[in-house]
Every structure is written in C-alpha cells, then in structure tokens.
C-alpha cells in the first residue's frame, strides 16, 4: 500500500484513517540503547537537512530517520508511506520545516504516537514567507538550539552533552559564513537571478540583488507556468547581461526552467546549482560552504 501526501495537493482527511491503521500495524519495537546503556532518543526529521543537524546535536544519544532525503527528486512531490507513519508514531522528537513545505508531517502527527513526543518546527523562527528556511543561517542556529532543548527534555542527564554539541555545530558554520562574508565584501549589490526562491535568504544576507521577476520564481514554486511577461523578463536578464549568475534548482525542473537555463548558458552567464535536499555525502555546514564557494567563483567570472 502506498498513499501519496503531496504538500500542494493533500486535502483528504479520510486518508488519515488509513494511516492510523498502518501505523498501528507497523509501530511496534523495543527502543534501542547506546553501548553504555543509555536509551536512544528516536528522532524523525521531515527533511534530511534538519535530520543531519539533529544527528550532530544528539551524537550517539539519538537515532535519526529523515523522510525527504533524495537530492535527485522534487521534495514538493514527496510521497509519505506507512513506514513513515510508523516512524513518526514511535518518535520521541519530530522535526519539521513548517510553512506548508512538509504538510504531510502534520497529517502523520495527527495519527497519534508517543505521549511525551516533542515537535520542533523551524517555522517558529522564520523571518519571511519563504519556506526554504535552512538557507537562513540565523534560523539554523535557532533550530539547533531548539533541538538541543527537546533532547534535554527527554534526557536531562545529558543536557551539557547536547549543549556542547550544539555549540560545536554552530561554531562549525563559521566556515560557510566566512565565504558568505567574502561574497559580501567583493560583490555587494551584484545582480543575480534564480529559477526558484530556494537560496533567497542566503542571497539577501550576502548583500546580493535578486533581479529575477518575483512572479516567475513563485510560479515555478507553485508548479504553474510563469506568465509570458515574466518569462520574457528572465530572458532579457541574460541577453542584456544584467545579472552575473543564475541560481538553478535541479530538483524542480520543467520545460520553462530548462529553457531559462539554456538561455543563461547561451549568453555565457554562469549557472550555480542550489538544491533543497542535503546530498548524502555532506554535512549541512559542508553543503552550505561548497554552494557558497561555487557562487563566489561564479560571481568572479
């Protein structure tokens, strides 16, 4: 059995009943323990971005399951399964992005679960209407602290361990921040374009000017075709060399985004991939650092 939860399309409450039955059938199991006998805190993260951060904060005291983790597919079209429902049901801590990005998690949370389960929502710390919150490093700091607090609530004896891990994680973001600061120093005010708002927070905080029409990016994000006017405005940015680079989301492509990429490439505009899902071989901070380095190199061409 496979039930589809599409964050744009899901509207059918009756499907919850199916997931309740699936959860009841799949959620049995004995909680694992660490080598020194500590009970392991079970974490379910809707996105592997937050799952990676939770694993760094929790260390060997946690077991993390990330639901959206395929960097080659569109996370907006994620399909939740009964296995996901079972994982959420037995989780001690659930981490979600919020802002409608992972609405299927709210549906799964509604099927029941552990009595003292904690829920961390990145949207609690949002500062805009863009749901791609992991590109706002100040939000990431706050989420890491909220994860530490949630873990401490389940394991007070390891409060200092979680706090130390959180501090170590936040300190490790300096390598990405230093690249962002270099972009600001060298290219403040430089114009860039994107196909989606995925890296918007990062670009704003780096002092770059986003020149692409807002209607174009929002249409792509909503899964509809941008207006002819917005498509022409995007083409003009490249043909008239009014932007230094194009930020492209390879996880959410269409005929229109492919055409935009081809236009930029044909005009000699550098293209930088900015994705929504953490690659399997990188930590969050390494991922941010590498993407910022690619942006810095593109701006300098």
Q: What is the DSSP string of 194-262?
A: ESSSTTHHHHHHTT-EE-S-HHHHHHHHHTSPPPHHHHHHHHHHHHTT--S-EEE-TTS--HHHHHHHH
Are residues 40 and 167 located together in one domain of the fold?
yes
* Residue 4 within a domain: no
Pair of tokens at residue 68: 């959206």
213: tokens are 């029409």
Higher pLDDT, 153 or 4: 153
| CATH code of the domain in which 295 resides | 3.40.50.1980
CA atoms of 264 and 234, how far apart (whole Å) = 9
Q: Specify whether 257 is located in the same domain as 215.
A: yes
Q: Do 149 and 199 belong together in one domain? A: no
Neighbours of 157 (CB within 10 A): 9
Residue 242 in this model has a pLDDT that exceeds 70: yes
Whether residue 295 lies inside any domain: the answer is yes
Question: Which of 130, 156, 172 delimits the end of a domain?
Answer: 172
Same structural domain for residues 155 and 32? yes
- Please choose, from the candidates 128, 113, 120, 119, the residue with its C-alpha nearest in 3D space to the C-alpha of residue 144: 120
Tens digits of per-residue pLDDT, 96-116?
999 999 999 999 998 766 678
Domain count, the chain: 2
Domain boundary among 122, 155, 172: 172
pLDDT in tens, 14-37: 444 444 444 444 444 455 666 666
Say whether both 32 and 165 belong to one domain. Answer: yes
Same structural domain, 152 and 213: no
Question: Are residue 99 and residue 212 in the same domain, yes or no?
Answer: no
Query: What is d(CA 142, CA 151) in angstroms, rounded to the nearest whole number?
Result: 14
Residues 210 and 113 in one domain: no
108 found inside a domain: yes
**Are residues 121 and 254 located together in one domain of the fold?**
no
Mean pLDDT of 126-133: 93
Residue 127, classed as helix, strand or coil, is coil
C-alpha–C-alpha distance, residues 49 and 286, integer Å: 12
Tell me if 62 is assigned to some domain: yes
Q: Which of 219, 177, 161 is nearest to 194 (CA)?
A: 219
φ, ψ (nearest 5 deg) of residue 7: -65, -20
* Residues 119 and 202 both lie in one domain: no
Domain membership of residue 181 (yes or no) is yes
Q: Are 120 and 147 spatial neighbours (Cβ–Cβ below 8 Å)?
A: yes
Q: Express as a percent the part of the chain with pLDDT over 70.
A: 86
Please indicate, yes or no, if residue 6 is contained in any of the structural domains.
no
Q: Are 188 and 260 within one domain?
A: yes
| Domain range for 227 | 175-299
Per-residue pLDDT, averaged over 193-198, amounts to 96
The pLDDT, as a whole number, for residue 34 is 67
């Amino acid at each position: 059995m496979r039930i589809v939860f599409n964050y744009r399309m899901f509207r059918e409450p009756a499907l919850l009943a199916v997931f309740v039955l699936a959860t009841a059938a799949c959620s049995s199991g004995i909680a694992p323990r660490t080598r020194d006998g500590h009970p392991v805190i079970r974490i379910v993260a809707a996105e592997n971005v937050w799952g990676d951060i939770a694993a760094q904060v929790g260390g060997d005291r946690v077991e993390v399951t990330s639901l959206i983790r395929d960097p080659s597919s569109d996370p907006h079209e994620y399909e939740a399964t009964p296995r996901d429902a079972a994982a959420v049901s037995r989780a001690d801590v659930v981490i979600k992005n919020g802002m409608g990005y992972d609405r299927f998690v709210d549906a799964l949370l509604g099927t029941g679960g552990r009595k003292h389960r904690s829920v961390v929502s990145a949207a609690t710390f949002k500062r805009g209407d863009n749901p791609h919150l992991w590109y706002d490093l100040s939000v990431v700091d706050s989420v890491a602290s909220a994860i530490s607090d949630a873990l401490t609530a389940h394991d007070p004896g390891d409060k200092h361990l979680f706090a130390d891990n959180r501090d170590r994680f936040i300190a490790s973001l300096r390598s990405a921040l230093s690249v962002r600061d270099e972009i600001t120093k060298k290219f403040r005010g430089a114009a860039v374009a994107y196909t989606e708002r995925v890296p918007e927070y990062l670009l704003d905080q780096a002092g770059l000017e986003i020149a692409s029409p807002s209607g174009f990016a929002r249409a792509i994000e909503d899964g509809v075709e941008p207006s002819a006017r917005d498509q022409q405005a995007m083409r003009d940015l490249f043909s008239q060399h009014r932007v230094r680079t194009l930020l492209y989301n390879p996880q959410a492509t269409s005929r229109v985004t492919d055409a935009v990429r081809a236009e930029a490439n044909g005009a000699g505009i550098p293209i930088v991939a900015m994705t929504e899902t953490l690659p399997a071989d990188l930590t969050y901070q390494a991922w941010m650092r590498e993407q910022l380095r690619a942006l810095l190199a593109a701006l300098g061409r």
